[in-house]
Amino acid sequence: MADAAVKEKVATPPEAGQELTDGFHLIIDALKLNGLTTIYGVPGIPITDFGRMAQASGIRVLSFRHEQNAGYAAAIAGFLTKKPGICLTVSAPGFLNGLTALAHATTNCFPMILISGSSEREIVDLQQGDYEEMDQLAIAKPLCKAAFRVLHAQDIGIGLARAIRAAVSGRPGGVYLDLPAKLFGQVMDAAAGQKSLVKVIDAAPAQIPAPEAVARALEVLKGAKRPLIILGKGAAYAQADDAIRALVEKSAVPFLPMSMAKGLLPDTHPQCAGAARSTVLKDSDVVMLIGARLNWLLSHGKGKAWGDAPKKFIQVDIEPREMDSNVEIVAPVVGDIGSCVKALLDAMGAKWTPAPSDWLSAVSKKREENVAKMAPRLMNNNSPMDYHGALGVLRTIVKERPDAILVNEGANTLDLARGIIDVYQPRKRLDVGTWGVMGIGMGYAIAAAIETGKPVLAVEGDSAFGFSGMEVETICRYKLPVCVVIFNNDGIYRGTDLNAASADPATTVFVKGSRYDKMMEAFGGVGVNATNPDELRRAVNAAMDSMKPTLINAVIDPGAGSESGRIGNLNPQSKLKKK
Ligand SMILES: Cc1ncc(C[n+]2csc(CCOP(=O)(O)OP(=O)(O)O)c2C)c(N)n1
Ligand SMILES: [Mg+2]
């Protein structure tokens, strides 16, 4: 019985003169049929020819220097396009290199499919030591939303369809697709092959919230004296920008954008509470979360940051299990953000009473005070630069070029840039996300340039940049409009630590006075060493005008940063006396 079932699956051997297709071509056809026309990856056995054929067929195949960077590129492509970003790797080590990015995509709710070639099942399962032997499917499973393996050419269509649906429907995430080497060469009748492909219809169906849930949420909002809306990257992902703006404006509620939701409404919008964050968290009485989770980034919705005043939470999210994850949610609204926000707007009707204006004025006042306090620091022309002087320059440049995409990672470089650089359009700020992971920089920059065609400004700590630095060659090879600015303070957090015990350098410092700009020149890009804000301004503007691959080594005072940027409080402390 089992034997018969297996036999049935094996394609009938071709007859002479019959038109044939094979695994290589079916995978390409299945991707194209579903509008997946960009692949980020690294070639090698067993996917080298597949990459060549995909490129020859018109798919854009971007070859990276390391799979992790290709994976981060695919992850952010998913965020930007709402289609799964595709990462392609070889077996075992290539697969593992891509896996961090797949887990990152899942944690951040970005749709992505990691496609890895794998070794012979018979040998892997008997652990007989095949080339790059690894049970990849089992390893991927706990780290992604779903994992599938395709063994037969005629199942390629279904396999990809399942992968696409799993990645984009409901809460998006990472999916693993295991393609054993043998599959690529499997031959079958061309017409039957075409018929086996699946064009996924309505891959991420709208999930409409229940009218009672919407009414309950509005009831809670109506009773608020000091309401707050928090926009998360789920709201940015939804591409429901007009509806979200309408909801915020109609409600007259101050809004706080999480890092990657900045720009959904401009940071300069009169209701933006970004520069009054601690005030609104503490003093608000009703908080409406839209596509934002109450994880560590929001101090779990409780404790000192949230103050003592009693609070009610409304949460709008596609994932029902997100509700009550950290604190009680009195009004859960479950559905996709676009449908939920539209339903809320409709139910508010024409006679909605805006939030009390004294609250909004109190928030605006606080925000103006904080902005004014910061302003002089951003105008300093110190050399070497401090973070504020350098970021003041970049802040103006982004204001003048609001359609550029800002990629940002580091510790001080991240935390200070997040606060200082205003964002004016949706999905223009891409950063380390939920895990605060270092290494997204060049992968994100490459995918942002490829997917949007817009210039990219990557603001990188010198340590952060190191995780993906070799991809500057990729940027030069594909001639991408990416300007990398490295905040070079000689190390992690600071470049001033000393090791008292031996001649080895301290654990957080790098070679002093490094010239990262020379790396770019090695591959034909433009390299600039900028030692003061004026030089930095000129160099970034030239890069953005020319759209040429550019790397600017921005020399930052090694003593300017603080330990772990803004999250030093998360470091465990030894109770023993320091020796
Ligand atoms: C994958 C990963 N490894 C390590 C870390 C720990 N980490 C946090 S920030 C950081 C680098 C901070 O230095 P830099 O990028 O130079 O920024 P700076 O504070 O100096 O501006 C590191 C290594 C991390 N977040 N992610
Ligand atoms: Mg640094």
Please state whether the predicted TM-score (pTM) of the whole model is above 0.85. yes
| Contact present, 510 and 98 (Cβ < 8 Å) | no
Q: Give the separation between CA 323 and CA 512, rounded to whole angstroms.
A: 48
| Residue pLDDT, tens place only, 276-330 | 999 999 999 999 999 999 999 999 999 999 999 899 999 999 999 999 999 999 9
d(CA 248, CA 244): 6
pLDDT at residue number 5:
45
| One-letter amino acid for residue 323 of the chain | M
Is 439 close to ligand 1, i.e. is its CB under 6 Å away?
A: yes
Find the helix or strand (DSSP H, E) in which 387 lies. Answer: helix 387-400
Contact status, residue 562 vs residue 414, Cβ threshold 8 Å: no
The number of the ligand 1 atom at minimal distance from the alpha carbon of 489 is 20
Average pLDDT over residues 4-33: 79
* Ordered DSSP codes for 71-89: HHHHHHHHHHHSS-EEEEE
Tell whether ligand 1 has an atom less than 6 A from the beta carbon of residue 437: yes
Indicate whether residue 413 lines ligand 1 (CB < 6 A). yes
pLDDT at 212 over 80: yes
Predicted confidence (pLDDT) at residue 9 exceeds the cutoff of 60? no
Residue 12: pLDDT over 70: no
Structure tokens at 68: 């992790």
Residue 579 has pLDDT above 60, yes or no: no
How much is the pLDDT for 8?
47
Of all helices (H) and strands (E), which one includes residue 443? helix 441-452
CA atoms of 579 and 573, how far apart (whole Å): 14
411 lines ligand 1 (CB under 6 A): yes
Task: Report the alpha-carbon distance of residue 551 to residue 529 in Å, rounded.
Answer: 9
Complete DSSP assignment for 32-54: HHTT--EEEE---TTTHHHHHHH
At residue 313's C-alpha, the angle toward residues 307 and 316, to 5°, is: 140
Amino acid identity at 43:
P
Give distance in angstroms: CA of 182 to centre of ligand 1: 41
Determine the residue of 414, 416, 463, 489 to mutate for testing ligand 1's pocket, defined as the one with the most ligand atoms within 8 A of the Cβ atom: 463
578 has pLDDT over 80: no
Q: From the CB of residue 305, how many other CB atoms can be counted at a distance below 10 Å?
A: 13
| Nearest atom (ligand 1) to Cα of 460 | 15
User: For 187-234, what is the HEC assignment?
Assistant: EEEHHHHHHHCCCCCCCCCCCCCCHHHHHHHHHHHHCCCCEEEEECHH
Confirm or reject: Cβ of 489 under 6 Å from ligand 1. Answer: yes
Q: What is the DSSP letter of 154?
A: G
Q: Which residue has the tokens 């695919």?
A: 74
